[in-house]
Structure 1
Amino acid sequence: MSSASSTPPWNVQRLPRAYGSAFLVTGGNAGIGYFVAEQLSATGATVVLGSRSPAKAEVAMASIRAHVPDARVRAVRLDLADLSSLQAVVESLEVDCLDAVVHNAGVALDDPPRKETRDGHELMFGTNHLGHFALTQWLMPLLSAAPAARVVTVGSFAAKSERLNLDDLQSRKDYEPKRTYGRSKLAQMYFGVELDRRLHTVGSTVASVVVHPGGALDSLTPSRPPIHVRTTGARLSTAPAALLVQGKHAGAWPAVRAVLDPAVRGGQMWGPRVFGLRGEPRRETVWNHLADTSVAARLWDTSCDMTGVDPGAIPG
């Protein structure tokens, strides 16, 4: 890639070519992850969808191929709620190096009761944060084999108003689904920031970037049947919301830019341009609470204990 000073202005409709690159998108079969995968496929790169459901992954790949002629897309079965399965997933990627992973997959529960992964962790924290934390460990040799790989962690604007309770990360004492989800995404974002710090310390060539999609609604998202069908009624009823938020295709833009733009650097955070809720991607100041290195370090150490791995310990 050329230097940042010689690159043209970023255009979400005219992405740079990425022939020869390989990208993994977790949760790439639906929602924002699907549009990340579709847009990255348009660059000529090989895109691998990580999905719990092989059937849903097949549907997503068919949709991508219908919208992106000659798309190089395939899938691997990925269950972030099962930590013991993740090493085998990485072995099934069948690539010599990985240029980027987009940590997008996530579980969002709307109602109690509290649920757990097969490893005994609260489901949202265990999947959204611990699953990606452990996956990064197993991916690191492939990432380190690329010239300048990136780990792109997709957080949430909902995390901005949340704070972590380091003594109750599993929400055993305080479980409220929406807040627990927000905290799980906040933990992911802490991980992304802290990962870059640790990779830099050991001299790794891998960079870690945090992004968030702003406000992304299904009703403002283009149809991709049968993955997503946008009805006329839904489009009309939420038309006023388009002044403040956007569809999931636009919510994918910060992650796509973090993967492709040579001007993006490790440790940065990117989100939508307009109030952090909608618009083309831009660099944001890392939120004050995310910049708290003491919280990040404690979360990291606890995550190592819970997963039995340390993603930042492998130099690139």
Structure 2
Amino acid sequence: MSFASQSRPWDVHRLPSAEGRTVLVTGGNAGIGYFAAEQLAAAGAVVVLGSRDRVKADAAMVSIRSHVPGARVRHLRLDLADLSSLKTAADKLDLDRLDAVVHNAGVALDDPPRQETGDGHELMFGTNHLGHFALTQWLAPLLSAAPAARVVTVGSFAARSERLDLDDLQSTRDYRPKRTYGRSKLAQMCFGFELDRRLRAMRSTVLSVVAHPGGALDSLTPSRPPVSVTTTGERLRALPSALLVQGKDAGAWPVVRAVLDPEVRGGQLWGPRVFGLRGAPRREPVPSHMADPAVTAQLWNASAALVGTDPRLGFR
């Protein structure tokens, strides 16, 4: 495995080699996850698409291979809303080690009513946060076996304006879809920063990094049939928005940098350069409400209790 010189500026179009590395991308069949998978495959990584939908995963693999000749990509059936299935999914990776996992998959609902997973958790909080929290436990031995593995948690710009209600994490008393979604992404980001603290305390070689895509629109995203198609008309109508936001291909850049850049360190936050909404990836200051140790520790313990897992998550 070789990396570019650390003195060279990061170039999203000239990524360091990821040969010899295996990366699991949850939700790698669409959106940000798809483009992160495509870019990581182009850098030489073996990419595993974690998706509950085999048909969509197959379409994504066809597209990646058409844009990245020789791409090494495969599917892992993964349903983050079904906590009991996650250990089996991790076992089916059939790997000696895992170099990185990108916690990207997510559910976003726009309208009521409130929905729940089969385990009885609010759907967005249960899938976006609890599913990834639980999955991390089963991946911990594989990540610990790699020389310098990374857990990259994909948050959202929307989380900046939200605050967790630790007494109502699952929005049972006051459910508003957009706010509940933002809080589920905030919970993910808090998880990433708390995981970093815990990994450093145990002197683990695994790094926990948080990234977000900024403002990423389908209408500014290159077509990837059969995964997605953006018409010329849609792109033309969206052009004025490109002054502030970008496509999902560019939204994946901070995620890919968090996985591959040898200068990235645990506990960092990476996002787009221009107002945190668009542009090349850069390191951002961590908002205090995302990394407050008292809040993140309470969230961690509550999450462990909800999913019935060991709070240490099995790292070493």
Q: Within 1, Cα distance between the matches of 2:31 and 2:5?
A: 33
TM-score normalised per structure 1: 0.98
> Aligned to 1:273, what secondary structure does the other structure show?
strand
Q: Within 2, Cα distance between the matches of 1:239 and 1:155?
A: 25
Q: Within 2, Cα distance between the matches of 1:216 and 1:84?
A: 32
Question: Deviation at 1:243?
Answer: 0.4
Q: C-alpha deviations, 1:203-261, integer Å up to 9, x for none?
A: 21111000000000000000001211111111111100000000000000001000000
Question: Deviation at 1:192?
Answer: 0.3
AA aligned to 2:305 is D
Question: Which residue of structure 1 lines up, in the alignment, with residue 183 of structure 2?
Answer: 183
Q: Within 1, Cα distance between the matches of 2:126 and 2:140?
A: 20
> Aligned to 1:50, what secondary structure does the other structure show?
strand
Question: Which residue of structure 2 lines up, in the alignment, with residue 112 of structure 1?
Answer: 112
AA aligned to 2:271 is G
Whether contact under 8 Å (1:24, 1:101) holds in the other structure is yes
Question: Which residue of structure 2 lines up, in the alignment, with residue 72 of structure 1?
Answer: 72
Q: Within 2, Cα distance between the matches of 1:202 and 1:118?
A: 34
AA aligned to 2:82 is D
* Percent identity of paired positions between Structure 1 and Structure 2: 74
Distance 1:248 1:271, change over 3 A: same
Whether contact under 8 Å (1:99, 1:150) holds in the other structure is yes
Question: Structure 2 matches for 1:280-295, cutoff 5 A?
Answer: 280-295=280-295
Q: Within 1, Cα distance between the matches of 2:159 and 2:233?
A: 30
| Structure 2 residues without counterparts, runs of 5 or longer | none
Whether contact under 8 Å (1:52, 1:79) holds in the other structure is yes
AA aligned to 1:108 is A
Which deviates more, 244-253 or 303-312?
303-312
Question: Which residue of structure 2 lines up, in the alignment, with residue 10 of structure 1?
Answer: 10
Question: Structure 2 matches for 1:271-310, cutoff 5 A?
Answer: 271-310=271-310
> Aligned to 2:283, what secondary structure does the other structure show?
strand
Q: Within 2, Cα distance between the matches of 1:300 and 1:83?
A: 16
Whether contact under 8 Å (1:199, 1:312) holds in the other structure is no
Q: C-alpha deviations, 1:62-99, integer Å up to 9, x for none?
A: 00000000000000110000000000000111111000
AA aligned to 2:64 is I
The answer as to 2:254 corresponding to 1:237 is no
Question: Deviation at 1:2?
Answer: 7.4
Question: Which residue of structure 2 lines up, in the alignment, with residue 143 of structure 1?
Answer: 143
Q: C-alpha deviations, 1:83-120, integer Å up to 9, x for none?
A: 00000000111111000000000000011100000000
Which deviates more, 243-252 or 230-239?
230-239
Q: Within 1, Cα distance between the matches of 2:301 and 2:5?
A: 38
Question: Structure 2 matches for 1:8-47, cutoff 5 A?
Answer: 8-47=8-47
Question: Which residue of structure 2 lines up, in the alignment, with residue 266 of structure 1?
Answer: 266
Q: Within 1, Cα distance between the matches of 2:163 and 2:41?
A: 36
The size of the alignment, in residue pairs, is 316
Whether contact under 8 Å (1:22, 1:100) holds in the other structure is yes
| Structure 1 residues without counterparts, runs of 5 or longer | none
Q: Within 2, Cα distance between the matches of 1:216 and 1:45?
A: 24
Q: C-alpha deviations, 1:176-224, integer Å up to 9, x for none?
A: 1011000000000000000010011112111100000000000000000
Q: C-alpha deviations, 1:49-69, integer Å up to 9, x for none?
A: 000101110000000000000
Question: Deviation at 1:44?
Answer: 1.3
Whether contact under 8 Å (2:3, 2:17) holds in the other structure is no
Distance 1:38 1:311, change over 3 A: farther
AA aligned to 2:277 is L
Question: Which residue of structure 2 lines up, in the alignment, with residue 127 of structure 1?
Answer: 127
Whether contact under 8 Å (1:140, 1:311) holds in the other structure is no
The answer as to 2:55 corresponding to 1:55 is yes
Whether contact under 8 Å (1:29, 1:60) holds in the other structure is yes
Question: Structure 2 matches for 1:93-104, cutoff 5 A?
Answer: 93-104=93-104
Distance 1:238 1:3, change over 3 A: closer
Distance 1:167 1:4, change over 3 A: farther
The answer as to 2:208 corresponding to 1:214 is no
